[in-house]
Amino acid sequence: MTQTAGIARLRNQGAHRRARQSGSALIETAILTPFVLLVVCGAMDFSRVVYAGIAMASAARAGVQYGAFNPGKSGDFPGMEQAARNDASDQGLSGVTVRARNFCACVGSPSEVSCSTGTCGGAVPCGYVETTASYTFNTLVNLPSLPHTITVSRTARMRVQ
């Protein structure tokens, strides 16, 4: 057998092998496409829920900043709640529920005391404000075994100046 005959035979074998594999790429693509789309949608929903958590933390912070600005605003619960809703709206989220309150506590202590009768080792307790912002997140795609709605809630506390 000559060298050119051997080369021709190898070319024929390669062409025959390619002919047998010509549809496999299309089949692999058809099988993998739904899984790739599922992963992309999951990543998209995950990033959206993380964004909602960051936005709720910012909204809660905006509410307590309004209330902690001075003692006169620490009792303005509608103003604190509106400041939080405005911040969430500026970030593109609507339907946010906000709850605001004020309380007294001793510095360095996690427990609350009465603002009128409580004492902190002879000292007057400090006034604090708290705002909780909540948002119901809905996924774009219903994935099996994962919830379709998630409540994202963040709380911020700040001492009144």
What does the mean pLDDT of the chain come to?
87
Predicted model pTM: 0.77
The span from the CA of 141 to the CA of 46, in Å, is 11
CA 134, chain centre distance (Å): 11
SS3 37: helix
Bridge pairing between strands 97-105 and 149-159? unpaired
pLDDT at res. 88 = 96
Burial 72-95 (b: 16+ CB within 10 A, else e): ebbebbeebbbbbbebbeeeebee
Determine contact, residues 100/131, Cβ cutoff 8 Å: yes
CA 127, chain centre distance (Å): 30
pLDDT at res. 2 = 64
The span from the CA of 82 to the CA of 136, in Å, is 18
The closest alpha carbon to 56, from 89, 104, 12, 102, belongs to 89
Task: State pLDDT tens for residues 70-123.
Answer: 888 888 999 999 999 999 999 999 999 999 999 999 887 778 888 888 888 878
Determine contact, residues 64/131, Cβ cutoff 8 Å: yes
